[in-house]
A and B are shown apart, each in its own frame.
Chain A
Amino acid sequence: MTTTEPALADAPVAPPPGRLTPRKVRWLRRRRALGRFWRQYRASGMGMFGLVILTFFILMAIYSALGYGGSTNPIETLQNPTLEPPSLEFPLGTDNNGISVLSLVIKGSKTSLLVGLIASVISMVVGTLIGMAAGYRTGWADTILMFITNAFIVIPWLALAIVLAALLGQNLWIIIMIIGLTSWPGTARLVRAQVLSVKERTYVERSRALGGPGSHVVMKHILPNVMPVIFANTILTIAIAILSESALSFLGLGDPLNITWGTVIDQAFSKGAITIGAWWWLIAPSTCIVLVVLASTMIGFAFDEIVNPRIRER
């Protein structure tokens, strides 16, 4: 069986199940679908560029999570020169406590990526649930849900986030919740629009005609057709979430006990890095933010292109 599998993976038409068990067939199918997706994705130069950058930062975060990357404890770095420009020993220079900026950036990557990922998952789940409910239900339920969504869009998120952060305290998880709960309206509107279009298709009516209950229709017919859009949108949300976290940290509303790229910039700024001329202290974390945001936007666009063939034509 193992020898035939690679051949099957490239076959354009599904082979007759033969003696394969249904489970095996299903896995072969999935692997083939994934292979097809990867082939399309690889063709996108932008997508590959973004993927390489993001992989680099993910590896950096894992490296940091494993305890490497140098000390960021000021007491342990007392021997180091302070505000040293980039050198062989400190490739990205040091800060006012003698901590290597490289160590700060590595340490910050873990938290920044974590915030981006979790916040965008929260945003995806909330947005999808509300969007699906609003799109599938018509009448007052739709009106109320869309009113809430529009209200969240209208409220300036930064002002809301500042108020919430001030009220609830500066804890990393609270920051994640704030970002997640302020970034879902876009997703909700997108999902609702897609559901509105999908639910009018004849196969949805057919599924109702053959006696499917509402939950069955939503899970089997509507969600799978909306899923690709949700997925592409979530990757784009990661970029927004990371930016939001940096913005909050820069305003001094971040978690003081956790180092993120945003808090490094905040520190550099408040300790007068600009006046001292310690450009490395500011440039390194800023570049990281820009690169990760750029990378996830590129990946999001590449996904969108595969998922939405109409864009591909252009």
Chain B
Amino acid sequence: MSVLSVRDLNVTYTTKGGDVPAVRGVSFDIEKGRVLGLAGESGCGKSTIAGAILRLHSPQTKIEGTVLLDGQDVLALSPGKLRAARWTGASIVFQGALHALNPVQRIGVQIAEAIRVHGMAGEREAFVRAGALVEQVGLPSRRIDDYPHELSGGQKQRVMIAMALACNPSLVIADEPTTALDVMVQAQVLQLLRSLQHDLGLAMLFITHDLSVLVEVSDDLAIMYAGRIVEEGPAERVFRSPVHPYTKALAAAFPEIGDVRFRGQPSGLGGDPPDPQLIPSGCPFHPRCAEVTEVCPTIDPELWRAGEGRTAACVHAEGAPVFEGVQR
């Protein structure tokens, strides 16, 4: 059984300006001990999925579909059961550790908070465990007596990771855990996450807009565009030989250091992601696509087979039905 199984997830924010469909029919599974990387531009719905897994959105937000976490449907849980499932079933490493720590509480209190809220240990035990967790992420245990402002950015992110592990969750959601960190610290934090994930056999959902980071940490990769997954498959192969033109553009945006071909001409993708309220007809990517065909504005592509263990939502995919005028 998968640790996390998401089926046909739709998340719609209700605003004064009308409904905003942020996630439109997303499905994926994460097995125990596997890391799924979720990539895409800002506003494509990555963090919205993270919030939906723990049902953190405001009550006005419409969430449809099923989210099975350890076999129980999170979207159908009673408030009490939901609280119990939070952090024990899945925990989140928030983006921007700076703001996810309460400035007026000591680190130890905040790590112990998770343990205490779930009644897993008494006050003293919770602190001992907080100390052990802090050591596990490579900080001296006495740092639990520090306030957040006494730690550096990387140390704060380590504390957030320690906190995410506090209740032995089966799934850890890392929501852009390395943004706002410099490259060296970023590498250390990634290394730490990867080794903890490996040692503890955790399932992990890793969210970022940085494809190069994802290739390092994830087993599988899912690329999102305009609230949908457009390509999915083993990380290395999706990155090296992308099928969907959007993935191609993302992968091409990372220059190969030392490769003469990239010199002087960084490649990028023109245009902006579509407004979630005005999604283009047919394939939502067609206005920006380099390989657009005549049928693209009319055909809404599904995730078709695109090689061994891979799928892509593009008419050029190997498993797509035959369309007139489309060359493979």
Q: A14-B146, A16-B145, A211-B114 are in contact. Are A206 and B83 (CB under 8 A)?
A: no
A205 interface contact, C-beta 8 A? yes
Q: Which residues of A contact B142 (CB under 8 A)?
A: 16-17
- Which of B85, B102, B127, B167 is in CB contact (< 8 Å) with A225? B102
Most chain A CB within a 10 A radius of its CB, from B102, B105, B127, B163:
B102
Q: Which residue of chain B has its CB nearest to the CB of A12? A: B150
Number of A residues with CB within 8 Å of any CB on chain B: 22
A201 interface contact, C-beta 8 A? yes
Q: Which residue of chain B has its CB nearest to the CB of A207? A: B113
Most chain A CB within a 10 A radius of its CB, from B105, B117, B118:
B117
Contact A206 B100, beta carbon cutoff 8 Å: yes
- Which of B83, B102, B104, B150 is in CB contact (< 8 Å) with A211? B83
Q: Which residues of A contact B167 (CB under 8 A)?
A: 210
B91 interface contact, C-beta 8 A? yes
Contact B118 A206, beta carbon cutoff 8 Å: no
Contact B83 A209, beta carbon cutoff 8 Å: no
A90 to B89, CA, bound (A): 78
Contact B100 A203, beta carbon cutoff 8 Å: yes
Contact B87 A209, beta carbon cutoff 8 Å: yes
A212 to B94, CA, bound (A): 16
Closest chain-B Cβ to A123's Cβ sits at a distance in Å of: 25
Q: Which residues of A contact B84 (CB under 8 A)?
A: 211
B328 interface contact, C-beta 8 A? no
Contact A202 B56, beta carbon cutoff 8 Å: no
Q: Which residues of A contact B103 (CB under 8 A)?
A: 225
Q: Which residues of B contact A30 (CB under 8 A)?
A: none
Contact A211 B145, beta carbon cutoff 8 Å: no
Contact B114 A208, beta carbon cutoff 8 Å: no
Closest chain-B Cβ to A153's Cβ sits at a distance in Å of: 27
- Which of A17, A207, A209, A224 is in CB contact (< 8 Å) with B104? A224
Contact with A along B155-199 (1 / 0, CB 8 A): 000000001001100000000000000000000000000000000
- Contacts A/B (CB < 8 Å), 27 sampled: A13-B146, A14-B145, A16-B142, A22-B123, A22-B124, A22-B127, A202-B94, A202-B100, A203-B100, A203-B101, A203-B110, A205-B94, A206-B94, A206-B100, A207-B102, A209-B86, A209-B91, A210-B87, A210-B91, A210-B163, A211-B84, A211-B87, A211-B118, A212-B83, A213-B83, A220-B105, A220-B113
Beyond the given pairs A205-B56, A205-B94, A211-B84, 18 more chain A to chain B contacts, judged by CB atoms under 8 angstroms and listed by A's residue number, are: A13-B146, A22-B123, A22-B127, A201-B99, A202-B99, A203-B99, A206-B163, A209-B86, A209-B92, A210-B86, A210-B113, A210-B163, A210-B166, A211-B85, A211-B88, A220-B105, A221-B102, A225-B104
